[in-house]
């Protein structure tokens, strides 16, 4: 697809892929297939691997490459596939971009490597441009505004922006560069709703891989201009889940894995040292989903 064709497909609920594991810590390929199928059948136009949700922090580089190939092969053209790096140096990013292009990834999301102010805006722009010479690139995080200015005048092969940090920064970038780089909102629907006036027309969704009727209702309300209904969906389903994640054993990511187990999609297990929630916590979560009508009571 051309850069313009890719940009045109960045809309609606996005599945940020949560790497599933078996009890002994192996990547659960069958569960990965189910996650992808539920998300695509539910209406996601994009399966996105991420440093965070995909748990690259507890994968090896070889596993990241293998998982990327697995996702591409199972998606099989039914949705866009976004791969992600692990904040590598430029040479490794270009090597990985070549791999992603060759296995069929549509877009590579690159998180800016930074420690102690080591890169300059200009060196970061060159970092992105080196990968964009190989395949389409998505920006993420908070690259310096000067870096964005350079890229906007340098390469058309930067095609999108995934926001996930400072809301005022994201609003500014969406207003200034949204036509060039369609933005995907991170976090929950409440965050996306705040970015909607800036023209942000895509967002990550936990529910797209659990109960797709929830994001369908949210996006239908937005398309109809019914902000009251969109807020109701946020207040009923999204905000309580994110608040629960603040105190859930192992945090929000653990909660997401437990939720997938409750919906029969993937087991709750995560690799050490990450915490896997116990049965008591999962029953608490079951109660929430029953209260909002997404799971039947026993």
Q: Please answer whether residues 63 and 55 qualify as being in contact, where contact means their C-beta atoms are separated by less than 8 angstroms.
A: no
| Max intra-chain CA distance, the chain | 59
Check pLDDT > 80 for residue 298: no
Q: Please answer whether residues 39 and 263 qualify as being in contact, where contact means their C-beta atoms are separated by less than 8 angstroms.
A: no
Q: If DSSP codes are grouped into helix, strand and coil, which group holds residue 111?
A: coil
Average pLDDT over residues 120-140: 97
CATH number of 3-211: 3.20.20.70
Average pLDDT over residues 234-255: 96
Alpha-carbon gap, residue 218 to 214, rounded angstroms: 6
According to the model, what pLDDT value does residue 113 have? 87
Check pLDDT > 90 for residue 165: no
Instruction: Write the pLDDT tens digit of every residue in 75-119.
Output: 999 999 999 999 999 999 999 999 999 999 999 999 988 888 899
Helices (H), 79-212: 90-103, 121-132, 145-152, 167-177, 189-195
Q: Please answer whether residues 235 and 245 qualify as being in contact, where contact means their C-beta atoms are separated by less than 8 angstroms.
A: no
What does pLDDT average to over the chain? 96
Q: Please answer whether residues 180 and 157 qualify as being in contact, where contact means their C-beta atoms are separated by less than 8 angstroms.
A: no
Rounded (5°) CA angle 14-100-70: 65
Phi, psi for residue 185 in degrees, rounded to 5: -75, 135
Other C-beta atoms lying within 10 Å of the C-beta of residue 271: 16
Alpha-carbon gap, residue 144 to 121, rounded angstroms: 6
Instruction: Write the pLDDT tens digit of every residue in 39-53.
Output: 999 999 999 999 999
Other C-beta atoms lying within 10 Å of the C-beta of residue 82: 30
Sign of the four-CA dihedral 127, 128, 133, 135: positive
Find, among 214, 241, 201, the residue nearest to 38 by Cα: 214
Burial class (CB in 10 A: 0-12, 13-18, 19+), 91: exposed
Alpha-carbon gap, residue 57 to 258, rounded angstroms: 19
Average pLDDT over residues 254-260: 98
Alpha-carbon gap, residue 40 to 46, rounded angstroms: 8
Alpha-carbon gap, residue 285 to 29, rounded angstroms: 25
Check pLDDT > 70 for residue 136: yes
Q: What are the structural domain ranges in the chain?
A: 3-211
Label residues 109-146 b or e (16+ Cβ within 10 Å = b).
bbbbbeeeeebebeebbbbbbbbbebbbbbbbbbbbee
According to the model, what pLDDT value does residue 116 have? 87
- The structure's pTM equals 0.96
Instruction: Write the pLDDT tens digit of every residue in 173-206.
Output: 999 999 999 999 998 899 999 999 999 999 999 9
Alpha-carbon gap, residue 222 to 230, rounded angstroms: 6
Paired strand residues for 202: 12, 184
């Amino acid at each position: 697809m051309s850069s313009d064709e890719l940009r045109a497909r960045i809309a609606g609920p996005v599945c940020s892929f949560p790497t599933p594991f078996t009890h002994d810590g192996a990547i659960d390929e069958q569960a990965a297939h189910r996650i992808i199928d539920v998300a695509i059948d539910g209406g996601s136009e994009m399966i996105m691997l991420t440093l965070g949700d995909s748990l690259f922090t507890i994968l090896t580089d070889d596993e990241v490459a293998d998982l990327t190939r697995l996702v591409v092969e199972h998606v099989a053209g039914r949705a866009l596939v976004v791969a992600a790096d692990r904040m590598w140096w430029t040479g490794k990013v270009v090597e990985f971009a070549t791999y992603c292009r060759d296995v069929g990834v549509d877009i590579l999301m690159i998180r800016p490597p930074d420690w102690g102010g080591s890169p300059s805006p200009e060196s970061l722009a060159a970092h992105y441009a080196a990968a964009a010479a190989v395949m389409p690139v998505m920006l993420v995080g908070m690259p310096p505004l000067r870096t964005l200015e350079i890229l906007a005048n340098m390469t058309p092969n930067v095609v999108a922006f995934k926001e996930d940090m400072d809301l005022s920064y994201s609003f500014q970038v969406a207003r200034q560069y949204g036509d060039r780089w369609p933005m995907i909102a991170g976090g929950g629907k409440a965050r996306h709703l705040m970015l909607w006036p800036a023209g942000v027309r895509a967002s990550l969704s936990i529910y797209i891989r659990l109960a797709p009727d929830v994001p369908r209702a949210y996006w239908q309300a937005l398309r109809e201009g019914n902000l009251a209904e969109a807020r109701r969906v946020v207040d009923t389903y999204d905000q309580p889940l994110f608040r629960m994640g603040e105190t859930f054993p192992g945090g929000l990511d653990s909660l997401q894995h437990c939720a997938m187990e409750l919906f029969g999609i993937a087991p709750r297990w995560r690799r050490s040292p990450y915490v896997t929630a116990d049965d008591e916590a999962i029953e608490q979560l079951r109660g929430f989903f029953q209260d909002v009508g997404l799971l039947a009571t026993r």
